[in-house]
């Protein structure tokens, strides 16, 4: 792999603009090379060069070696092409390179190259300084958190006063945490040496120091309160604001562990940022030396190595201190266990996933072909039971079609997110190494598709048994069996079949249902938006309950729509996703005080009205309801289209560098964005067919399924550009890490 591709693959996506622009510098080098090829003079014939040396004075045999050394030194000095200066100024200073060969042919291009190179060096150095400064401030905050945590542990464990000084000596806690104690970490847990070491320290300390140290730990806890983000987990006491119990200690320890893991990941990426940029400067200077036939890389790389990001070791030392702290306090001094948690887990691509995916794809394709052949061979489309089948069985099986289609589009989204380096795992908040790739999603998709198609083929009976007057109970129960199996797999508690992803999905669904009781995160409102495109699937679930709960499956009859309760819930089920999304907007409006959330909530309120009027028209079919449904649906569609294109996608900006798009685009082809906008508008108005009632030679259930599928496709397109816009917002703010709430609040922090 060429270094340019490796360099791009190693970048933190949100920091991409802060890395050295290796590509543009390579373009400048190509221009220099092209100019030198044009102006290069033909070589002097070898015979003339050899003849000219015959007229030089003889330097002697013994002095030849010394003269060669001195001549090399003079040649190095004379051929010096650049002079790098460091200008002290406001902030961190500035590097400026003076190119000494400007008078030569093509010297202006080389001077432009070094000017651009200096800009990149100053940019990288400035960014690294700012991030190291943030890391050091965060380390100071974590030191104070560890002070409170250790004091809290002393209180909970009821450590005697004579032991207390070991953990909570004034001014020593932060030093023990972040100054790196020289100790060995034994995974076998040999405690005898540790106990003898403690006893020896206790004998050496006097009682006066013990009493003062005990008093210091109490003072720390008196100035500490629990953070509001986790205060709901355990009620504080009236006296100290803290509830000293082992359960609370475990929760605080778990929260601090998350903070340290995130902080260590930040330090690791920051160290990699420094290393990759140094390597990029080295590579580009070697290319320059090769093209220009100069020896400037050694001089310039000396400047790079002496720069802040090239010579600073604060991040390395801080990583060592974090490792020591995490191993000691959160891994029970087990070095291997602690480092396994700190180091990122790379996800391995398994061949069995590809094999099983191919197997299910082949099975689903064979079942689709078999289904077509069976329908044609039995002439099922002309059977009298066709209408009854479409009214009762088709809504049951269309549920699987909606889910499979949505999962298939989600797999395509993951593929293109990875291709264009959109950090979807960070945006969604997936735990590192547990996010599903498109191969895993395709495996689940085609597995469910094969199972549903096998059930459809087994349930193609169009005529009932003339003796009993009923259909076969086993085949009629097949859709319910498949749905039950999917639900069981989804809530299966054991660590198989992507347990972390299933738990993440169920947790997010629970947050959507319980809105606005939980703080709204990106994954919460993103999933709620997905559910708004699955209204027909939710209505199919409602039909399952009615069809099998009331026993209609035996005669394949549909008496649900004759019930007022069913018709009422037909409204409620369609409104639930939009209502949940509206409540999320109100929660964010209350917390963030952002008026855009109010406008977003108005969009969902209009959609709720449109869905209700459209459903009422479908049940009543009156001309009055048709006009109301048409007006409300048109208003909701126009509002939603504008919000999709302008707010969610960030497009249609007149003064942007890319006309009518946005300044930054990840897809190099602008036509893709214009095509997506046109397609979004068309698909937004596709479900207007349910109001306008165009004459189409399709069964009503088939037409409903097609319109619902078009809405799922529109949502899939929306997903990609919505995450692209969110990713670019993170890039603009260099936001590459999620903020984990700290368990403790000091009094001065609350005042701030």
Calculate mean pLDDT across residues 670-676.
94
Give a yes or no: residue 666 inside a domain.
yes
Q: Is the pLDDT of residue 324 over 70?
A: yes
Q: Are 715 and 200 in contact (CB under 8 A)?
A: no
Give a yes or no: residue 100 inside a domain.
no
Task: Give the pLDDT band of residue 735 (cuts 50, 70, 90).
Answer: confident
Q: Is the pLDDT of residue 665 over 70?
A: yes
Q: How many CB atoms lie within 10 A of CB 399?
A: 24
Give a yes or no: residue 705 inside a domain.
yes
Q: pLDDT higher for 11 or 578?
A: 578
Distance of alpha carbon 351 from its chain centroid, rounded? 25
Q: Is the pLDDT of residue 86 over 80?
A: no
The span from the CA of 394 to the CA of 385, in Å, is 12
Q: Taken in order 113, 119, 122, 127, is the CA torsion positive or negative?
A: negative
Q: Is the pLDDT of residue 266 over 60?
A: yes
Q: Is the pLDDT of residue 220 over 60?
A: yes
pLDDT for residue 185: 39
Mean pLDDT highest for which of 35-39, 95-99, 283-287, 638-642? 638-642
| 52-56, 345-349, 466-470, 596-600: least confident range | 52-56
pLDDT for residue 163: 47
pLDDT for residue 528: 95
pLDDT for residue 618: 74
The parent domain of residue 472 ranges over 351-732
Task: Give the pLDDT band of residue 102 (cuts 50, 70, 90).
Answer: low
The span from the CA of 127 to the CA of 129, in Å, is 5
Q: What DSSP string describes 163-182? A: HHHHHH-TTTHHHHHHS---
The span from the CA of 385 to the CA of 383, in Å, is 5
Q: Is the pLDDT of residue 325 over 80?
A: yes
The span from the CA of 448 to the CA of 466, in Å, is 34
Q: Is the pLDDT of residue 430 over 90?
A: no
Calculate mean pLDDT across residues 614-624.
75
Give a yes or no: residue 724 inside a domain.
yes
Task: Give the pLDDT band of residue 179 (cuts 50, 70, 90).
Answer: very low
The span from the CA of 363 to the CA of 340, in Å, is 40
**What pTM did the predictor assign?**
0.79
Calculate mean pLDDT across residues 119-126.
91
Average pLDDT, the chain: 80
Q: Which residues contact 175 (CB under 8 A, 6 or more apart)?
A: none
| 502-516, 652-666, 692-706: least confident range | 692-706
Give a yes or no: residue 280 inside a domain.
no
pLDDT for residue 428: 92
As for how many domains the chain has, the answer is 1
Q: Is the pLDDT of residue 291 over 70?
A: yes
Task: Give the pLDDT band of residue 467 (cuts 50, 70, 90).
Answer: low
- Reduced 3-state DSSP string for 722-740: HHHHHHHHHHHCCCCCCCC
Give a yes or no: residue 355 inside a domain.
yes
Q: How many CB atoms lie within 10 A of CB 111?
A: 17
Give burial (CB, 10 Å; 0-12/13-18/19+) of 70: exposed
Q: Is the pLDDT of residue 178 over 90?
A: no
Q: How many CB atoms lie within 10 A of CB 673?
A: 21
Calculate mean pLDDT across residues 526-541.
94
The span from the CA of 24 to the CA of 669, in Å, is 20
Q: pLDDT higher for 645 or 735?
A: 645
pLDDT for residue 188: 39
The span from the CA of 83 to the CA of 69, in Å, is 23
The span from the CA of 744 to the CA of 149, in Å, is 8
pLDDT for residue 174: 40
pLDDT above 70: percentage of residues in the chain: 78
Q: Is the pLDDT of residue 581 over 70?
A: yes
Mean pLDDT highest for which of 37-51, 69-83, 571-585, 723-737? 571-585
As beta bridge partners, residue 590 has none
Q: Which of 422, 410, 411, 412 is nearest to 665 (CA)?
A: 422
pLDDT for residue 746: 74
Task: Give the pLDDT band of residue 96 (cuts 50, 70, 90).
Answer: confident
Give a yes or no: residue 427 inside a domain.
yes
The span from the CA of 688 to the CA of 725, in Å, is 28
Q: Is the pLDDT of residue 564 over 80?
A: yes
Q: Is the pLDDT of residue 68 over 60?
A: no
Q: Are 709 and 401 in contact (CB under 8 A)?
A: yes
Q: pLDDT higher for 638 or 472?
A: 638
pLDDT for residue 205: 43
Q: Is the pLDDT of residue 672 over 90?
A: yes
pLDDT for residue 300: 87
Tell me whether strands 94-99 and 744-746 are parallel, antiparallel or unpaired.
unpaired
């Amino acid at each position: 792999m060429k270094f340019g591709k490796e360099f791009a693959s190693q970048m933190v996506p949100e920091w991409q603009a802060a890395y050295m622009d290796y590509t543009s510098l390579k373009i400048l080098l190509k221009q220099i090379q092209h100019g030198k090829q044009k102006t290069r003079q033909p070589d002097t014939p070898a015979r003339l060069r050899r003849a000219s040396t015959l007229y030089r004075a003889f330097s002697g045999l013994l002095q030849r070696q010394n003269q060669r050394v001195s001549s090399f030194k003079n040649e190095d000095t004379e051929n010096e092409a650049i002079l790098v200066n460091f200008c002290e100024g406001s902030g961190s200073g500035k590097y400026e390179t003076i190119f000494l060969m400007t008078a030569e042919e093509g010297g202006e291009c080389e001077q432009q190259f070094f000017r651009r190179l200096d800009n990149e060096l100053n940019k990288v150095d400035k960014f690294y300084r700012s991030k190291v400064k943030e890391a050091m401030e965060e380390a100071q905050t974590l030191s104070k958190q560890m002070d409170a945590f250790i004091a809290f542990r002393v209180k909970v464990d009821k450590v005697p006063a004579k032991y207390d000084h070991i953990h909570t000596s004034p001014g020593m806690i932060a030093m023990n945490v972040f100054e790196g104690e020289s100790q060995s970490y034994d995974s076998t847990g040999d405690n005898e040496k540790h106990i003898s070491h403690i006893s020896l320290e206790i004998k050496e300390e006097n009682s006066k120091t013990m009493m003062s140290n005990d008093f210091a730990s109490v003072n720390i806890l008196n100035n500490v309160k629990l953070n509001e983000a986790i205060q709901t987990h355990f009620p504080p006491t009236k006296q100290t604001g803290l509830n000293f119990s082992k359960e609370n200690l475990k929760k605080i320890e778990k929260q601090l562990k998350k903070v340290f893991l995130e902080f260590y990941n930040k330090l690791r990426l920051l160290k990699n940022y420094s290393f990759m940029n140094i390597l990029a400067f080295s590579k580009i200077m070697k290319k320059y030396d090769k093209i220009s036939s100069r020896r400037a890389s050694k001089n310039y790389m000396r400047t790079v190595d002496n720069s802040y990001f090239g010579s600073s070791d604060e991040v390395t030392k801080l990583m060592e201190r974090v490792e020591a702290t995490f191993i000691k306090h959160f891994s029970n001094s087990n070095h291997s266990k602690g480092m396994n948690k700190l180091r990122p887990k790379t996800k391995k691509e398994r061949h069995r996933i590809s094999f099983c995916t191919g197997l299910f794809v082949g099975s689903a394709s064979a079942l689709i072909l078999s289904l077509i052949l069976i329908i044609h061979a039995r002439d099922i489309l002309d059977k009298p039971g066709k209408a009854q089948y479409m009214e009762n069985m088709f809504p049951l099986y269309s549920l699987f079609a909606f889910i499979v289609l949505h999962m298939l589009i989600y797999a395509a989204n993951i593929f293109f997110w990875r291709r264009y380096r959109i950090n979807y795992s960070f945006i969604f908040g997936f735990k590192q190494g547990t996010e599903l790739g498109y191969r895993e999603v395709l495996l689940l998709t085609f597995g469910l598709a094969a199972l549903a198609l096998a059930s459809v083929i087994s349930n193609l009976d169009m005529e009932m048994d003339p003796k009993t007057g009923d259909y076969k109970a086993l085949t009629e129960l097949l859709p319910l069996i498949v749905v039950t199996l999917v639900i069981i797999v989804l809530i299966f508690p054991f660590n198989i079949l992507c347990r972390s992803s299933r738990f993440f999905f169920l947790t997010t669904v629970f947050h959507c249902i319980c809105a606005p009781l939980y703080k709204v995160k990106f994954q919460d409102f993103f999933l709620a938006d997905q559910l708004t495109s699955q209204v027909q699937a939710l209505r199919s679930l409602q039909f399952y309950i009615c069809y099998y709960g009331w026993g209609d499956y035996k005669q394949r009859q549909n008496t649900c729509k004759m019930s007022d309760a069913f018709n009422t819930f037909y409204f409620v089920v369609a409104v639930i996703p939009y209502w949940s999304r509206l409540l999320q907007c109100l929660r964010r409006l209350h917390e963030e005080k952002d008026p855009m959330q109010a406008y977003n909530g108005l969009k969902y309120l209009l959609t709720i009205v449109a869905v209700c009027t459209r459903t009422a028209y479908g049940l009543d079919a009156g001309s009055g309801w048709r006009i109301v449904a048409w007006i409300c649906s048109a208003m909701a569609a126009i509002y939603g289209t504008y919000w999709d294109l302008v707010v969610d996608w960030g497009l249609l900006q007149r003064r942007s560098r890319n006309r009518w798009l946005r300044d930054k685009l990840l897809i190099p082809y602008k036509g893709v964005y214009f095509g997506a906008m046109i397609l979004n508008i068309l698909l937004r108005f596709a479900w207007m067919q349910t109001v306008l009632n165009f004459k189409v030679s399709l069964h009503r259930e088939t037409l409903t399924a097609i319109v619902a599928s078009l809405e799922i496709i529109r949502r899939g397109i929306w997903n990609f550009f919505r995450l692209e816009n969110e990713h670019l917002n993170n890039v603009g703010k260099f936001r590459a890490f999620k903020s984990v709430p700290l368990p403790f609040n000091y009094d001065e922090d609350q005042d701030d």
